A and B are shown apart, each in its own frame.
Chain A
Amino acid sequence: MHLPDGFTDPKISAGLAGAAATVLGICIVKVKQLLSKKVPKLVEAMETGVGNITNSTKSFISANTSKIFLAGFVGALIFACQMFNFPINDGTSGHLLGGVLAATLLGPYLGIITMSVILIVQSLFFADGGFLVLGVNIFNMALVGCGLGYLIFFLLNKYLPFKKLNFGIAIFIASWSSVVLASAFCAIEVGLSGKANLQDTLYAMVSVHSIIGFFEAIITLILVYMLKLLKIDFGAKNE
């Protein structure tokens, strides 16, 4: 759902670019703190995602560099997956967004930065998503898709009553809703710009993306468990 130039009103594009820049600034500060400080376990679990469990300061230092390399890898992985359009009924297609994937592997702050870098490369190198609406696309797919997606994942993973199954179920529901929510925001922006009827666009976008969301959920689950099987130590071990 990369918006091209021209679908949204310049006012909306500018406003959301401002919002995106602000949140990205906060994310950069948070990631900087994360890279420099040893945070208490509870806060760490909340901020860095599930993969990162570090105990000693020593392992924390190497955890920093592994986390950076992991961000590079996850960015490459999501970029590749976004190229893979799978066909859906009625002559349309969808691809992975990867917001929840990035957030569960990297934590929400680094996840949002990773998603934004992917969107910037796509826009500049491939005109996939217009350059003038980059802020809108970052808002929809990084802030909503990754940030809000992580919030849903975090709450479900914590409060669902299924114990060991929580993690998988939370990923499934969060990735589905991240796609649907992002598409809803996308439709509202187009609708408010006066390019199409708001209600029709919202209905059409949400109904198509609730199908795409199922694929998103399944692919995210497969990738997360595949990386777990490969025993990618999310910064837990010393070199």
Chain B
Amino acid sequence: MNKIKYILLFIIPILIVILATFFASSNPDGLEWVAEKLGFLHFGKESFSILGNYSLINGIIGIFTTAAILIGVGFLLNLTNKKKKG
């Protein structure tokens, strides 16, 4: 029961990503806006990235990558615990 529940839960972030790709504001965020106003925006450098922009597919990839890393790290920590005991 619980496992199905956790999988179904992921509908919520996926829905939020779908809504975000349609309705998110493209205005600069707080920091960028301040940087523009106070004239230090030009110091910012473009850095490399694997996927680039936040599109619908990229957002969903991002969600599952984050979840996978966290669950992976969690089980790794749990696993090393058990080894120590035995």
Contact = CB atoms under 8 A, between A and B. Distances in A.
Nearest to A110: B74
Nearest to B84: A36
B75 A195 contact: no
Interface in B53-86: 53-54, 58-59, 61-71, 73-75, 77-78, 80-81, 85
Contact of A32 (B23, B67, B81): B81
Contacts of A121: 62, 65-66, 69
A35 B81 contact: yes
Contacts of B38: 196-197, 200-201, 204
A126 B71 contact: no
Interface residues of B, number: 65
A76 interface: yes
A118 interface: yes
Contacts of B52: 126-127
B75 A5 contact: no
Interface string B26-42: 11111111110111100
Nearest to A237: B2
Contacts of B53: 126
B46 to A, nearest CB: 7
B33 A77 contact: no
Interface stretch (A81-89, A143-151, A169-177): A81-89
A60 B35 CA distance: 48
A81 B16 contact: yes
A77 B45 contact: no
Interface in B1-50: 1-3, 5-6, 9-10, 12-14, 16-17, 19-21, 23-35, 37-40, 43-50
B68 A72 contact: yes
A181 interface: no
Interface of B: 1-3, 5-6, 9-10, 12-14, 16-17, 19-21, 23-35, 37-40, 43-54, 58-59, 61-71, 73-75, 77-78, 80-81, 85
25 contacts: A1-B30, A4-B46, A4-B47, A68-B74, A72-B66, A76-B13, A80-B16, A83-B20, A85-B27, A86-B24, A87-B25, A92-B28, A92-B30, A93-B27, A113-B73, A118-B66, A122-B62, A125-B51, A126-B62, A127-B52, A131-B48, A195-B43, A200-B38, A201-B40, A204-B38
